Structure 1
Amino acid sequence: MDGFTHYREQGADMAGSVEQNPAPLSGLRALDLTGELGWLLGRILADVGVEVQKIDPPGGDPGRNMEPVLEGPAGSVSASWVAYNMGKSRLDLDLSTEEGRERFLKLASEVDFVLESEEPGVLDALGIGWSVLREINPSLILTSVTTYGQNGPLARVPASDLELMSAGGAVWLTGDADRPPVRMTLPQSICWAGSYAAVGTLIAFHHRQVTGKGQHVDMSAQAGLLPALVHAPSFFDLLGENPMRAGGYLVGRNINGAAMRNIWPCRDGYVTWAIYGGAAGRQSNRGMVEWMDDNGMAPESLKNIDWSTFDVATVTLEEVSEMESSIADFLETVSKAEFLEQADVRRLLGYVVSTAADIATDEQLEARQVWSEDFVPEVGKTLRFPDGWLKIDGVRHGVAISAPGGEQ
């Protein structure tokens, strides 16, 4: 049965004055069998115009009950489930039955993508794995998003977000150097896995456009976290050093071991800014001192620094500590809004540390039209959600803008 068949059908005016234009992948279709680990993959494809049909077991996706839940006059549903599955139609299908499998294979023979996140071997055991799918639809792209990939000693090992973040190296680098590592506040492994799975899927789609042949895309959530470590693996490869977590500081930029503070308390929250090197860094440092001086809070020691010759790599720990002490006192007197305004005026390399409330009212995001409103039948009310992250030739695309048969 159909569930949330394109929430967006009931939000015809949500796109405002956005120009009507086909989304990049309009006309393509996908079957989405994924659980939480692969939800974002289907959402990204829907964002760029793919018609995504979510295939759930009878009774619906168990993820609908995950906390936190949204409450409304019609009931409750998981906030994460709604966020990652907007823009998809839904079909309950019992793949444990022959009838359900036959119907799935019929659908799979007519679509462009199949997305799944089952333990390796599960689809093969059901008779609907890659060897069968490629026979009935040679141009099909199958994308598998699993914890550790399709092969290797951990291929069939389940993992939570904490386990994946740990296995991928991110937990080791999270927290303060003088304390044990800590977990991320909110789950992130599913976002990295889904994002890179989408990249792999679109590369396979390009390959199909050139050759006419489909491919099986194998996405390991553990491997997908490695880019989150940025250059940390290079330290070990090139220098034999195992980077340590540094909390709110920047490390590895100074031969004397000085760490540059990067997160600062301000009057109503936190901002990010650091003493930098290079041309842009020197301008940022100079701008900060000039701002402090305009407010009578710049000590002579800061005003006397020749920023044109300042070298962040050779400054001593004592010098950094003295500079940062005065800067910390000043930043505690300014608001996030004041910092953001002056960062633009004075060319400071910094930004506010945004809360969820800040993001909801962010002027830049409003200007980019990233928010849409849509009716969610599971709770019986209209919700606001991020959408339209993609613009091509100035035209915004997203699940609320490119609904099949829906108004723009």
Structure 2
Amino acid sequence: MSPEAPRPLAGLRVLDLTVALAGPYGTLLLAGLGAEVIKIEAPQGSDMARFNPPFYGRDGIHVGKMQEGDISLTILARSRAKRSISLDLKAERGRDLFLRLAETADIIVENMSDGTMERLGIDYARVAAVNPRIVYCSITGMGRPSPMPGVKAMDITIQALSGVMDTTGQPDGPPLRFGLPIADLLAPLYGIIGIQAALRQREATGVGQHVEISMLDALASLLPFEHVDVFQSHGFPPRTGSHHTRLTPFGVFPTADGHVSIAAATDAWAERVFEAMGRRELIEDPRFATRGPRAVNADAVNAMIEAWTRTLTTAQVIDALATQRGVPTAAVRTAAEVIADPHLRATGAIQPLVHPDAGEIAAVGGGIPIRMSGSTVGLDRPAPKLGADNAGIYGDLLGLDDAEIASLKAAGVI
């Protein structure tokens, strides 16, 4: 696809009032798909992610105390392809400017704490009064009003409350946090789906709407897909470590030099695993011949496979199962190996980060993992400095002259 091909969301303007991860990741995706995303922060910087180590500055990349001129790698990653303006929404002039911007916008995304948007006077009802076509997306921890108003909705909190943590870890061990901030990353994906659906409905009705996404709802909605309630009622533990009991043999096994994943979820694949092990007699054993009995006897199956894989290198296991017998098997790669993968670099799923002054730096960010035949996507502009687009937005878009902009800056509104 030619780099001149259109971006699918080109022509849409997004006002980004998000902080931390859940909201900024959603607006990052919108920017990568071609929308004009204007990130709005207080003049001193109000996104808590600005203070997340590691930082990049005159001392290179470091994880120490933030110094003058440092920019968090978090911001360099999550603000790519966005524009940046500063605006004090607590000031009356700031609120008035925001509502003027809202009149020109198609989408607003916010993930502020309960009651914040109402206190500022820029909640959905107020914005819709000046722009009925607005699609206003709110990403919250547990909904509004929150069923647990005293609980701060951090990713680990949502993992704990959603039941997902109860399914992660060894059967005889404690619940474990999922390795990535999965609640923070999942909620904005649902947010993008909701925004796209609302835009589609707006084409028919001419009217926007309020899209509300709860991190708790999003993560908890996935729990029933594994039927944990039914399996627990039949004596299966909620946590099965690196194995999937219902699909045994299905899990991660140690080798002489690493680990492999084996997904022999069908009877035919399980037979081929037993054959590769030199244990064809297991195919006729009623405890292991079909999926149901294998699930009941998963510990015995996994122990036999582990005893075999430990005697072989990762490459030998892959050859015996994947190459020779077509059983889904793969090496468990390290995160460093994946980040360095030339294929993922070529597709743009992994891409170098760029500092607005220093250029490309020795760190990476995630790209937009979407390919389209008639348009392009991508995060091809570095994150701007805070307020870098004040003149363009306030001057060119809202028509303020230099004196008005200077007055706003002197008053601390921008």
**TM-score bin, normalised by smaller chain:** 0.7 to 0.9
Residues 1:67 and 2:45 are matched in the alignment: no
Contact 2:10 2:33 in 1 (8 A): yes
Q: Which runs of 5+ in 2 are unaligned?
A: 61-68, 384-414
Task: Label 1:316 to 1:241 Cα distance change in 2 as closer, same or farther (>3 A).
Answer: closer
Residues 1:191 and 2:185 are matched in the alignment: yes
The amino acid of 1:276's aligned partner reads A
C-alpha separation in 1, matches of 2:111 and 2:172: 38
Secondary structure of the structure 2 residue equivalent to 1:398: coil
**Equivalences for 1:76-91 in 2 at 5 Å?**
76-91=70-85
Per-residue deviation, 1:228: 3.9
Contact 2:167 2:240 in 1 (8 A): yes
Contact 1:149 1:155 in 2 (8 A): no
What residue in structure 2 maps to residue 387 of structure 1?
367
C-alpha separation in 1, matches of 2:13 and 2:285: 60
The amino acid of 2:326's aligned partner reads R
Residues 1:31 and 2:15 are matched in the alignment: yes
Per-residue deviation, 1:344: 5.3
Residues 1:49 and 2:34 are matched in the alignment: yes
The amino acid of 2:43's aligned partner reads P
Contact 1:38 1:145 in 2 (8 A): yes
Q: Which residue among 314, 332, 355 is the counterpart of 1:376?
A: 355
> Which deviations, in whole Å up to 9, do the C-alpha atoms of 1:73-107 show, x marking residues without a partner?
57543333332222211111111111111111111
TM-score when normalising by structure 2: 0.78
What residue in structure 2 maps to residue 9 of structure 1?
none
Task: Label 1:269 to 1:69 Cα distance change in 2 as closer, same or farther (>3 A).
Answer: farther
The amino acid of 1:327's aligned partner reads I
Per-residue deviation, 1:275: 4.3
Q: Superposition RMSD on alpha carbons, in Å?
A: 3.4
C-alpha separation in 1, matches of 2:236 and 2:280: 39
Q: Which runs of 5+ in 1 are unaligned?
A: 1-16, 254-258, 404-408
**Equivalences for 1:116-131 in 2 at 5 Å?**
116-131=110-125
What residue in structure 1 maps to residue 401 of structure 2?
none
Per-residue deviation, 1:402: 12
Per-residue deviation, 1:367: 5.6
Aligned residues: 370
C-alpha separation in 1, matches of 2:235 and 2:126: 47
What residue in structure 1 maps to residue 241 of structure 2?
247
Q: Which residue among 253, 257, 263 is the counterpart of 1:264?
A: 253
C-alpha separation in 2, matches of 1:237 and 1:155: 33
Secondary structure of the structure 2 residue equivalent to 1:145: strand
Secondary structure of the structure 2 residue equivalent to 1:115: strand
Residues 1:226 and 2:220 are matched in the alignment: yes
Task: Label 1:375 to 1:274 Cα distance change in 2 as closer, same or farther (>3 A).
Answer: closer
Per-residue deviation, 1:175: 0.8
Task: Label 1:262 to 1:212 Cα distance change in 2 as closer, same or farther (>3 A).
Answer: same
| Greater alpha carbon shift after TM alignment, 391-400 vs 236-245 | 236-245
The amino acid of 1:393's aligned partner reads S
C-alpha separation in 2, matches of 1:172 and 1:316: 20
Residues 1:298 and 2:278 are matched in the alignment: yes
Query: What's the % identity of the aligned pairs?
Result: 28
Residues 1:330 and 2:339 are matched in the alignment: no
Contact 1:388 1:401 in 2 (8 A): no
What residue in structure 2 maps to residue 362 of structure 1?
341
Q: Which residue among 20, 45, 61 is the counterpart of 2:4?
A: 20
The amino acid of 1:271's aligned partner reads V
Contact 1:142 1:217 in 2 (8 A): yes
The amino acid of 2:266's aligned partner reads G
> Which deviations, in whole Å up to 9, do the C-alpha atoms of 1:181-229 show, x marking residues without a partner?
1223342221012211111111111111221111111111111112442
What residue in structure 1 maps to residue 405 of structure 2?
none
Task: Label 1:76 to 1:109 Cα distance change in 2 as closer, same or farther (>3 A).
Answer: same
